[in-house]
Amino acid sequence: MPEAEARLAAVKSGEIHLTEPPIAEISNLKEDSKLKLHVAENTGQIVFLEFVTSRSPFNEKKARQAVAYALNPKKATEEVFADLVKPSECAIADVMFPSDGQLCSEFSIKPDPEKAKTLLKELGYTADKPLEITLLSWKGGNRQKVIENFSTQLEEVGIKTKLETMDIGTLNARIKQENSQTEGNGVIDMMGWSWYDPDFLYTLWHSPSWMGGYHSDELDILLQEMRNTTNSEQRQEKVIEVQKYLLDNAVMIPLYSPGWMWNYASSSNVAGFKIGAFNLPQFNDVKLPTTNEEKE
């Protein structure tokens, strides 16, 4: 059943027992005594923006920072997802060790449209000659609405945006292609990763980096030290150093966590359904009512 509304109707009618419901219906499902809402927790997922840095303008730190100052992820996620996700200021999900949202807040870039305008002016962009970029995302999970919200915020500081949404396989191929080109407009993509250890930062940002993206000798050293350190406290310090570098240099812009809205709706008499690691539904202990129980 490709349509979420049809799936939910099938659960309500008793045709099926479990489904992934429409995001817009989550608040209503919480109030429906005939249904159960199951929500994945501790997902390890983080959604973020990353830049094509093989060419202008985002090979310059100021251009990336201008975008970071222009965006308000908290505003966007509240308007699109309500309380289903949490805006993040860290480069890793808050369930990972170590993650300290308060600490990340001390060195992350805060929304400041006027600062964004100042940086754009310093880079030579004006109302007559605006920065023009393409913003990419993959389909599903209301991500189209998120980038539409970001587009509005970017337009407000004078950045002209073109939006493109595609399946995740096409997006990955497109990012690799864009990173290999030294000419073209600025490109930003919305990406998401799920893992349970900060080591995925090494996969993403250590040279040659994921899909041939951002490169920095300084960052490579920090990531290598993070990976080689076995002492827990020392490793925590290295993870913080890596995150500080990523945020201060606007290598990426953290957006929200979890990145995938793993919500399931079932009829209230379905028992034992659980959501396991990596959000995999587990049916081992599920018990369904007999025909007589359903009639009762």
Model confidence over 184-240: pLDDT tens digits? Answer: 999 999 999 988 889 999 999 999 999 999 999 999 999 999 999 999 999 999 999
Residue range 122-180, pLDDT digits in tens: 999 999 999 999 999 999 888 999 999 999 999 999 999 999 999 999 999 999 999 99
Q: Are 137 and 189 in contact (CB under 8 A)?
A: yes
Q: What is the DSSP string of 194-248?
A: E-SSTTHHHHHHSTT-GGG----HHHHHHHHHHHH--SHHHHHHHHHHHHHHHHH
Token pair in block for residue 76? 């966007």
The CA distance from 37 to 77, in Å, is 21
Backbone angles phi, psi at 269, to 5 degrees: -95, 10
pTM for the model: 0.86
- Give the chain's domains with CATH numbers: 4-40+262-295 (3.40.190.10), 45-257 (3.10.105.10)
Q: Which of 67, 80, 73 is nearest to 157 (CA)?
A: 67
Q: Which of 277, 47, 239, 224 is nearest to 143 (CA)?
A: 47
In eight-state DSSP terms, residue 278 is G
Max CA pair span of the chain: 74
Q: Are 249 and 64 in contact (CB under 8 A)?
A: yes
How far is residue 47 from each of residues 39, 89, 245, 284, measured CA to CA in Å? 18, 11, 18, 31
Token pair in block for residue 9? 């109707």
| 295 burial type by CB count under 10 A (0-12 exposed, 13-18 middle, 19+ buried) | exposed
Which pLDDT value is given to residue 296?
A: 47
